[in-house]
Structures are given as C-alpha cells and as structure tokens.
Structure 1
Amino acid sequence: MPATIPVTEPQALDRTELHGSLNDPLLDAMNFLNEAAGRFPEALSFGAGRPTEGSFEPEQLAGHLRSFTDHLEQERGWSRDRIRTALYQYGRTNGIIHDLIARTLVNDEGIEVPPEAVVVTTGAQEAMLVTLRALFARPEDTLLVSSPCYVGITGAARLLDIAVQPVPEGALGPDPEAVLAAVRTVRAAGGRPRALYLVPDFANPSGASMTVEARRGLLELAEQEDLLILEDNPYGFFVRDGSARPTLKSLDRGRRVLYFGSFAKTALPGARVGYVVADQEVTGPQGDRTLLADELSKIKSMTTVNTSAISQAVIGGMLVESGFRLREANAEAIAFYRASMDALLAELERHFPAERRAELGLDWNRPEGGFFLVVTVPFTADGKALERSARDHGVLWTAMSDFCIDGGGRNQIRLSCSTLTPDQIVEGVARLAGFIEQEAG
C-alpha cells in the first residue's frame, strides 16, 4: 500500500516575496472605487471612464462577423476553408485585420504606414506592455510620463521594473520645455530618457489637450534629444467644438512616434482589440533590417500568442461597414459625449457661479472634448472623502491623487461624463454640490 501522506496546514505565501508592484497603493485605490460602487449601487458614478453602450444590440455581432467574412471572400478572394481556418484556429501573431486598420488610419487620422507596421493586440494595454518590454533594455532606461497620468502605463512600467520620471502637465498638456527639463533631470541622475508617454487629446485623467504648436515643438525636441514618443489616442474623435487636431504620428517625419490605438471607445469595448503602429526600422549586427513591429510580434508571441480572431473579425466587420471611416461612423457617439460634457459644465456653473467658486476656492477646467474634467476642491479628496460622498450623498468620483506619481492632486477629483444621461448628470451634480458644500463647511 502507498505510504500515507501526512496532513499539514496549507502553506501561505509571504507577500514580501511576491513582486513589489502588488504593494502599490494605486492598485488598492482602483479596487476601492469598484468596491464602493458595489456597496452603494444607488450612487450615481462620475468615476467610470468606459464608453456609452449607445445603440449596441447583441444581434449586431453576427452582422459584423458576416461583413468581415464577406470581405474576406469578395475582396481577398479567400475560400470557405481558408476563412474557417482563420476564424477557428490560432492566427497570425500580428493580427488578421492589420491592413484594415492601416486603411482606416489614413482616412481618420492622415497616418500613412504599411500594414506590416501594425501589430493587433489584446486591447491597447497589451500594446503598451509589449512596447515597453521591447524598448527598455538597460537598467538606466527611463520612461517619461505626463503627470497626472493614465494608470495603465505606469502600472505596466511597474510590472516591468522600469524607472519612471514624471513631467508636470499644464493646462494644455505637457509643455516641450517641461519635457526637456525632465530629460535633463534623468541624465543628471545617470539615467537614459528612452521614451515619453502621453495622451495629447483630452487626456485621461485631466482632459487636457496639446496645441498644434506644442506638438511640433515636442517632435523637434524628440529629434534633438534622441527620444521616442509613445502616443496614446483613445479620445481624439470626441471633440466638443472646433476641428480635430493632427495626431503626433501624422506630423512625425523622423519615425519618432509609436502610436497606440484602441477600438474600446470608438467601436466595441468588449472585443478587447487594440493595436500599436511601430514603423521604425531595426538594424541587426549583420546589417539586416526589420520593422520594430516584427520585434514586438516576438514578444506578443510569448504573451497572448495572438489576438482573438473572433474579436478581430467583429472589429473588422465594423471597419468594413464604416467604409474604413470610423470618425464618421462615430457621429452619434460624438454628439452624445458633446452633449454630456456641455451638461456637466453647465450644471457645475449653475451650482457654483463665479462668486461662490471664489468663496469656496473651487474651480474646474473646461476640456474641448473627451470624457473627463478635473475639479479642484477645498478639502482632501481621498478614500475617506469618497466613502462619505457615496454613503451620504449617493455620488461617486475618482481621486486625482491616484493618477499623480509626484504626490500631487490631493485636493482634486476627476469627473467622467461618458456613461451618464443628461438627466443623470443634472441629478449627479446636484448630489456632488451637496457633498462639496458639506465638506467645505
């Protein structure tokens, strides 16, 4: 008979022996917001940054799939067997809709790159992760980020043990002079400033946007200082007034810019399809040349292997149906977000006219588009304040300090208007005003 295995107590793992990123307070802060939303389900939330579900219907998914398979059959001349294999099996690591994305980028953003420069990823988050892993090879390599900053990029850098240097963000986004100061700070400390991450249009969390002049100045600086730019553009379509500004990538002549894109806000968040445009050349020791996209593909092959073919097919169908012009296809969503931001600004102004703002020391920015704005409040906006806001006033928001790696944002809150109807915004701001008045008192 086999020997009896002695019964012992289950072994507990020591958190100090797990990766240090798991002790990052930011992870707890994001979990706390989700937990608060669960405990106070009646609270109206200005915290979520997800898109509206608009006119989504489950039945539409089959139609998008059909549009894509029709495209494969009629435009590419694929047989039924080849289409079946493409949808049911593991696929090309770089993706099967890279050419459709390239066509759409030309129409929507004026970005002209070969399809082979596009790597289709599992959301933009994977695009960030594989890009950071490829570019940051030395211990001294440092990532510059505009601060406040989207937590996805700083979280990815933390997972990969990449040093991060904040660049203070002004009302119009990161200023080239501030970027240059950060570059010099890193070099003075013995580091190598490798790349700058930023969202030039309606940034998350601040809502700030760069001027065209600042974009050109940043590209010149990147050339002078041998700096790469990681441009993330999830909100560029959603302009409140005026015309869209050119992306950094469309202005890029020196191939300094890697461009992150996602269909979460402009098509279908549940598909989890993003991409990175990496058209930079990479030279090998024997003089061989490849695209950076091919190098990123090697890393992706060791993470997710390939992005879901079914998800790509759904997005591909939507691109085909739009005539590869997503900006036009998003006209209804653009109008919704414009009305939502206008309503949010109008209600803040109604509850806090200039005289009352001055009395309270209260203010907010007025973004030209996107989902977010920032309110400066006369109290500490932390987890305890959020708890009181949800429990006593039925309204949720996000603390800006969660996005600031340089210790700022302690008396600021981020408001998102992307998921609320105009009526909900009216009620939500009324609740928020009650909370702010109580805290200020």
Structure 2
Amino acid sequence: MTYATTAPALALDDLHASLTDPVLDAMNFLNEVVARFPDALSFAPGRPAEGAFEVEDLARHLRSYTGHLERSLGWSRDRVRTHLFQYGRTNGIIHELIARTLANDEGIHVPPESVVVTTGCQEAMLLTLRALFARPEDTLLVSSPCYVGITGAARLLDIATHPVPEGAGGPDPEAFRTAARRLRAAGRRPRALYVVPDFANPSGTSMDLAARELLLRVAAEEDLLVLEDDPYGFFVRAGSARPTLKALDRERRVLHLGSFAKTALPGARVGYVVADQEVVGRDGRRSLLADELSKIKSMTTVNTSAVGQAVIGGMLVECGCRLREANAGAIAHYAGNLATLLGELERNFPEERRRRLGLSWNEPTGGYFLVVDVPFAADHAALEESARTFGVLWTPMSDFYTDGGGEHRLRLSCSALTADQIVEGVRRLARFVESRAAGPAGSR
C-alpha cells in the first residue's frame, strides 16, 4: 500500500485538549532523556530494584498458581486451561487472594467481591474517576505536589482538579476542609480527595496517625470520598508502619488503590481497587461500587491479563498471602538506599556549604523519594545539562504542581540504584549544583 505524500495533517487543535497539557508530557520527557543518556546515573525513575528478579521465577509462579487451583480448589485441568487462556471475569480472577493478602498485611477486611483487579493502578484511577465524577461541577481535591498519574487521568476525563498544598507532615486535613468549603461556596462540588499517605510520590512525606484520623473525620463532615493510593507503605526506613486509611475507615468513605508493581512484579501490570461502597439505584436495587466499576472496565480493557494475574497469584500463594513478610529483603534494601542517599547528601553538602548554596532537603522515614531545594531553576533545561555534562539525572518537581510551583526543587529517587551508584551519583550531583549555583560562568 502506498500513501499520498500530500495527505492533510491532523490539526492538534482538533484533538483532545489534554494533548497540549504539560502534565501529559512529563513522563514521556523523562523517559526520552533517560534513553538519550544511558550512561548517566539516574535518580529519576521510581521503579523497583531488579536484583531479585530471575526469568525462571515466572514459570515457577505460574505453576504455584495452577497448583493452587488444582490442589486447593479442586479444579480440573480443563477448567484451569480455560481460566488462563480465555477471557475471564471482568473484575479479575485473583480477587480472593488479594482480599486475603490485604487482611493479613494491612488489617483491611473486605469481601473479595469488592476488589476489582486492574491493568496496573493507573487503570484503577481511571475507572474510579470515571464512575465518581458525573457532573461538570464535580472537583477532585489533590495534595500538591501530586503524582502526575492521577492529575493526568483527570485531565483525560475532563475532570477539574483543585490543588491543596501539603505540609511537612504530608496532606493537611484542615487544608482539605478549607478547600472543600471554598469550592462549595463558589458553586463547585468537591467530590473526592486523592492522597498518598505513606512516603508520597514525589515528596516522600507521610501522615501520622492523628492526621489520618482527622482526614477521615473531615471527609465525613464535608461529605467527601477518599482515594487512597498506597504503593510505598511497606517500605519503612525508620519507625513502624502506620495503618492505611482504609484500615481506619468505618464509613466506607475510602477507595483503596493498590498495585503489585513495587511489592511484587512491575512487568505483570496488575493493580486493584477496593470499592466496597454500596450503590443504590432509582429502583432501589443495591450493588457494590466494584460492580459498577466492572461495567466501565468491560468497555476499556475488558479484562486484566489472566496470565499476569496468575503470575501475581502464584507469588501470593507462595508467601501465604503475606506479602509484607515476603518483601523483607526489599524493605531492607530500600531503607539502606535511602539512608545512603541521606548520608551522601550530608557528606557532600555539609552545613556550611548548604548555607552558602541555599540548599536543603527533607528526610523521609521510608519509600523511594526525597526532595532537594536548590538555588536555581530545576527545569528541563537544567536536567538536560545535568545529564549531558555531569552524567546524573533527577526529576524536576515543577512537573508535579498543577498550579505552578516547585521551580527550585528536584526529586531524587534511590530505588533502582546500588549503594555505590548512589555515592557516585551524589558526587556528580554536587558538582552540577555547584556549577549551576555559580551561574553561567561557573566552573564546569
């Protein structure tokens, strides 16, 4: 087939307006920079370490899952084959294992039917937003800075978002209350709020127990639903794990968004949403919100990959549905990496040097990320120079602010590096910071 060379181009203005929104460019730009500078040490990606992954494990996980179906559930070989090779239940096939794991690991006790297994957590966000936001005035409150996955999904669906600045202790419940009331007074309908209560991406902040309980009270008093995203809660560096919002939820206000990308296997692309809220129709018919999400999923991805679910299911069977215990090695690794990163920042930027440069950073108690405040514009041009001239990558924080901000802040992720790479990476970062702080004429 030949194509006419004079075929008219599509006008970008005729495509959906989200395609010109910078939030949709953020991830692609970062991936492109990483690809162009493969030798640079990268503090940019928030992906898990690969040290424990072995190709041979995939077959073992599949065997563990099929063995569970045959021996524990008494399934025939034919039934197992259909289960894995055909289209399956729209809401997922490992929902019972996920529900058992949530009970063991988080104290979240919900019926398996309230769990919708999704193609990554990103689909869980899309399904949830599409179902909950029905009116033009419906608005999503987001902690700012905010993970671009949720703000990008809202943009694709033409859902208005309203940023609520977070504090040193993470999302501020009273700030959410104030924002909800102001929106309501302006004729908007604050519908839900989105938070990452543990070691948030991008800021690394966490909410203490009192703040979590207050947030739930605010949600009840202001009639808000809570979208809780919890990919990093296992990875505690200091102190002990705190209960999830869903574990504290007594009014079914919390929709718990989860993923196995960080705790099991990112390549499986398996996430989930716990949607145990009751829905009442005009005719009085009652259902779970999970069932309503299933209708939307049937028109998007139809099913989450049965093979991907089976691999995750096998991993859950192997650990007795106690994924936190199975992650003991990863928890220690990330805690060690974060401690190394904080130590190297201190070593390369002692107090006198920090004061001279106007440099500071936070000290998260776990997770993958921390934020450095710098005395220059930490924009895409600076990132390009950092990669090309100094061989080190990071993420501009301005990408995570929907209303402007973060121009002098950068995010460092330590999850995918070794301790030696962190040491060398911070050394390179220190040279870059000194150069930028000195201005265009500074030493390179």
TM-score range, shorter chain: over 0.9
The answer to whether 1:318 aligns with 2:311 is no
The 3 A distance-change label for structure 1 pair 439 and 7 is: closer
The answer to whether 1:297 aligns with 2:294 is yes
The 3 A distance-change label for structure 1 pair 7 and 132 is: closer
Q: Aligned partners of 1:90 and 1:385: how far apart in 2?
A: 47
For residue 147 of structure 1, the aligned residue among 144, 149, 155 is 144
1:14-413 alignment to 2 at 5 Å? 14-413=11-410
Q: Identify unmatched segments of 5+ residues in structure 2.
A: 439-444
What amino acid is the match of 1:334?
A: I
Superposition TM-score, scaled by structure 1 size: 0.98
User: Does the 8 Å CA contact 1:145/1:165 hold for their aligned counterparts?
Assistant: yes
* Matching residue of 1:432: 429
- Alpha-carbon distance, 1:42 to partner: 1.1
**Greater Cα offset, 206-215 or 355-364:** 355-364
* Matching residue of 1:417: 414
What amino acid is the match of 1:242?
A: G
What amino acid is the match of 2:142?
A: V
Q: How much identity, in percent, do the aligned residues show?
A: 74
- Alpha-carbon distance, 1:30 to partner: 2.7
What amino acid is the match of 1:210?
A: M
Q: Identify unmatched segments of 5+ residues in structure 1.
A: none
CA offsets, 1:418-437, max 9 Å, x none?
00000000000000000001
Q: Aligned partners of 2:18 and 2:157: how far apart in 1?
A: 9
* Matching residue of 2:442: none
- Alpha-carbon distance, 1:7 to partner: 6.1
- Alpha-carbon distance, 1:155 to partner: 0.3
Q: Aligned partners of 1:396 and 1:263: how far apart in 2?
A: 26
User: Does the 8 Å CA contact 1:171/1:208 hold for their aligned counterparts?
Assistant: yes
- Alpha-carbon distance, 1:8 to partner: 7.0
Q: Aligned partners of 1:386 and 1:197: how far apart in 2?
A: 29
Superposition CA RMSD, Å: 1.2
**What is the count of residue pairs matched by the alignment?**
437
What amino acid is the match of 2:178?
A: A
CA offsets, 1:377-421, max 9 Å, x none?
000110111111111100000000000112110000000000000
SS in 1 for 2:258: strand
Q: Aligned partners of 1:31 and 1:263: how far apart in 2?
A: 22
Superposition TM-score, scaled by structure 2 size: 0.97
CA offsets, 1:224-260, max 9 Å, x none?
1100000000000000021100000000000000000
What amino acid is the match of 1:201?
A: D
Q: Aligned partners of 2:57 and 2:102: how far apart in 1?
A: 24
CA offsets, 1:10-43, max 9 Å, x none?
1210000000110011233332222222222111
Q: Aligned partners of 1:407 and 1:340: how far apart in 2?
A: 31
Q: Aligned partners of 2:30 and 2:93: how far apart in 1?
A: 37
What amino acid is the match of 1:94?
A: N
Q: Aligned partners of 1:403 and 1:7: how far apart in 2?
A: 42
Q: Aligned partners of 1:118 and 1:77: how far apart in 2?
A: 23
The 3 A distance-change label for structure 1 pair 278 and 6 is: closer
Q: Aligned partners of 1:202 and 1:428: how far apart in 2?
A: 22
Runs of 4+ in 1 over 3 A off after TM superposition: 5-8
The 3 A distance-change label for structure 1 pair 173 and 6 is: closer
